[in-house]
Structure 1
């Protein structure tokens, strides 16, 4: 009995000691206890739902939905990747994948088609062309099944595929293509836009991006470039060190490019340029838009903070967060936000509100009271909290309703496929022109196509009718509404005539895409690209260029 009492006392003392120890570390332990408790609750609930729910449940899907919902409460960039998506993550991070080297898409009538063979890769070498419809792959029917086609078009490098394609004017063809490791270039285009201004289009920040930019700059200078445009529009970012190295091309060694600050001390770091700059003096214009994000914003922000180049276009996306990929169990991964980054002036360009964005993805309006002012090297005022603001804001021209509808319906692409005449040709896009005869052929061809388009004012009149009906007041304004509807009704011939220059341009883009691939589309865009035109104008005016960067 005595031994039993002693044992009870010891247990009580141990319990008291544990309680006292917990009391002193309660703030820290509370959090871990809550984590363990909620994990237990979640596991129990997950088990019971799978065991008792009335219908069969796919445990993988319900788990992924739960994880995605949990992470969505944090930020848009902290995401989970199950094992079957790891290959996509690798492609995103490296730009490499095993494939045929072509953009394949679902086009009109759900046809699976070659949209753009990548220059120099397997698809182009094998003779695949824009507009080829893929019928089967190794004898497996993939007609009008984009998902199945995508699955079979990727695989182990060096293996071969036999594609049966339908080519307009030639019928069915069997084409053998060898899969290869596709290392997507970060610089798909560089070239001269006039006699002394070169342009470098940078679409990614995967490994070797800085080497590609440096090589392009040197080649442009050999071709006579005395000024350069760095096009970051549509570039969603990538590797931080590549952003530092690309900035280093234009600024001297030892300059601060970006600072990262996170919850953990090891996430705090400063990144400075390590090499001698390639060209510290060449006049520079950087193009950005609402899709320029992350590493693109580091480069643009650095050029702006050091007054190294003028920024032209529209406010950038506003992603000032740094992610790291973490391995999880069962070969899954998570990309988690570990820090915020700050440009050399000290500003964080992360959008204050993740959800407050316009339809085009641009940052919504931010109250002045929520922004902090910073200064560039020359004393120009710049702000944080919502992307990089350009020095020259260029408002994009809105396309006419009929042009938008023609694009949405893939009718320029389809016209290119069905065109039976001789396509205008040239070594570069500037040598290609679309005659009135071709334009009239397009109009005649369009008469046999289905086309439905609605202008903004037609939508407003339709809303007026709906409101009047809902309020029971249509009878009072019936004649006026009908008069408005008549006044704004579509007239295809008139609308085509009013938009003929827009239409002419997109026919040209379609034709040059077939002859010159992506390079042709990019070159053709220069004729209507207001950002590029403004960059050329500013770079060609040394006094204005210096004045803007000087803060005067």
Structure 2
């Protein structure tokens, strides 16, 4: 293929992608061609000429695929943050998020001193079964040094086809010599509900972290196992939940709203995108008072569920204003391993509120009325504004520095090293642990004075207790420890304990 043929092929490819990717329909005029196509073809011709000039005259030789990919990404970047070209890696990440599983070894990792460090092994996974523990520093993968490598590259090397092997070397606190592991990868399920329990004997708590394909089944399972004749309230925790599948939001909301209730509607330009999503669940829990916890990390599907609960006067929303990601992305496959993710619509709650804050382009504050019978006034300015606003406590500069320097985790891993089983029976946060932490910080981080530590002792102890509890008892330990200092959760329990029925819960805010 000569140069002219290459450029013609590129132009035709981009034109075809433009038509297919936007879902546009071209109506022919009397002359037999689209009335809007002339300028588009001229602009694509300009692009092909620029591409040719760059390809043949730029000071360095550039790969054609890279240039085209950069051009596509540049076009999409001008639209919004969520419209992106997805290469193999991004497309694979999307599949993991929506399907809720991938091939890997089963660890949560972060970085410390330039190395990937295990935060916690996921229970039941290959890493967990082999005895990998929190605090293990991964120094090599397939005999290749991991120092100062990006987390993305580390994760990419650890993941792979189930049944294949990966060789890693770790350095463990308290053990001089490195430990070598050969781990057989397996399917790792990303749990949507990592923790669910009953608090104070009568109040069901469900932590929902995403809206993958497993979200509604896991929420349903938690409700089935925990709700009984003595249940007096439900707490649905959607904090730091970035969202996921709109159909899963529809199903999760369906557990708490009457059948055939509107959950959300979508509106856009693409054919078939305007749609109303209604509840379809046969088993519901509509007669139990509930609260929903949200924060600035609650986005998309989380806002759909919390918005529907609020609009229908079904439960009290507690926490901080949500993220405001109220746009719909449609995935257009471009091949077996790549796709275009394009914003095609916006979400609207049952009362008609626009959830979206990012694309609004205005600062208009609208007022709407709930539709569940109470006709409460609610505000729309993008995102979901809680009925009871409780922002997170502002961290002190000392707490921020401790977290930045990874002091909580590093001390916890060191403190539990070699005595995890014993500590499970004897551990409690006390003066001995506090003094050991102060000694560790003084040795590791001279920028933090002991006076500052003592001044922030109560809050630091609460955070430190959560880290140690996670190492000793996993996710369950982490949640149980954080509950002790969780102001938003405490408010939810306080409200529910004063509530006798679903509508009674709103008396809590009637005078506000």
TM-score by length of 2: 0.87
C-alpha RMSD of the superposition:
2.6
Match of 1:460 in 2: none
Aligned pair partner of 2:451 in 494, 503, 506: 494
Cα distance change, pair 110–390 in 1 and its aligned pair in 2 (3 A): same
Matching of residue 446 in structure 1 with residue 451 in structure 2: no
Match of 1:31 in 2: 36
Matching of residue 142 in structure 1 with residue 138 in structure 2: no
Q: CA deviation at 1:164?
A: 1.9
Normalized per residue, the structure richer in helix is 1
5+ residue gaps in structure 1?
1-20, 357-365, 454-491
Q: Deviations over 1:123-142 (max 9, x none)?
A: 11111111111122343333
Q: CA deviation at 1:392?
A: 0.2
Matching of residue 201 in structure 1 with residue 158 in structure 2: no
Provide the secondary structure at the position in 1 that maps to 2:291: strand
Aligned pair partner of 1:389 in 381, 385, 388: 385
Cα distance change, pair 330–229 in 1 and its aligned pair in 2 (3 A): closer
Mapped partners of 1:227, 1:548: distance in 2: 10
Equivalent residue runs for 1:101-500 within 5 Å: 101-107=106-112, 109-146=113-150, 148-171=153-176, 172-222=178-228, 225-328=231-334, 331-351=337-357, 353=359, 366-368=363-365, 371-377=366-372, 378-419=374-415, 425-426=423-424, 433-452=428-447, 492-500=449-457
Provide the secondary structure at the position in 2 that maps to 1:49: helix
Provide the secondary structure at the position in 2 that maps to 1:200: strand
Match of 1:512 in 2: 469
Cα distance change, pair 195–23 in 1 and its aligned pair in 2 (3 A): closer
Contact kept in structure 1, 2:170 and 2:180, CA below 8 Å: yes
Contact kept in structure 1, 2:288 and 2:501, CA below 8 Å: no
Match of 1:15 in 2: none
TM-score by length of 1: 0.81
Q: CA deviation at 1:110?
A: 0.5
Q: CA deviation at 1:68?
A: 2.5
Cα distance change, pair 279–320 in 1 and its aligned pair in 2 (3 A): same
Mapped partners of 1:332, 1:51: distance in 2: 28
Q: CA deviation at 1:240?
A: 0.8
Provide the secondary structure at the position in 2 that maps to 1:298: helix
Matched positions, count: 478
Structure showing greater Rg = 1
Cα distance change, pair 501–58 in 1 and its aligned pair in 2 (3 A): farther
Mapped partners of 2:260, 2:145: distance in 1: 58
Mapped partners of 2:419, 2:72: distance in 1: 55
Match of 2:74 in 1: 69
Q: CA deviation at 1:330?
A: 7.8
Cα distance change, pair 82–149 in 1 and its aligned pair in 2 (3 A): closer
Equivalent residue runs for 1:39-58 within 5 Å: 39-58=44-63
5+ residue gaps in structure 2?
1-26
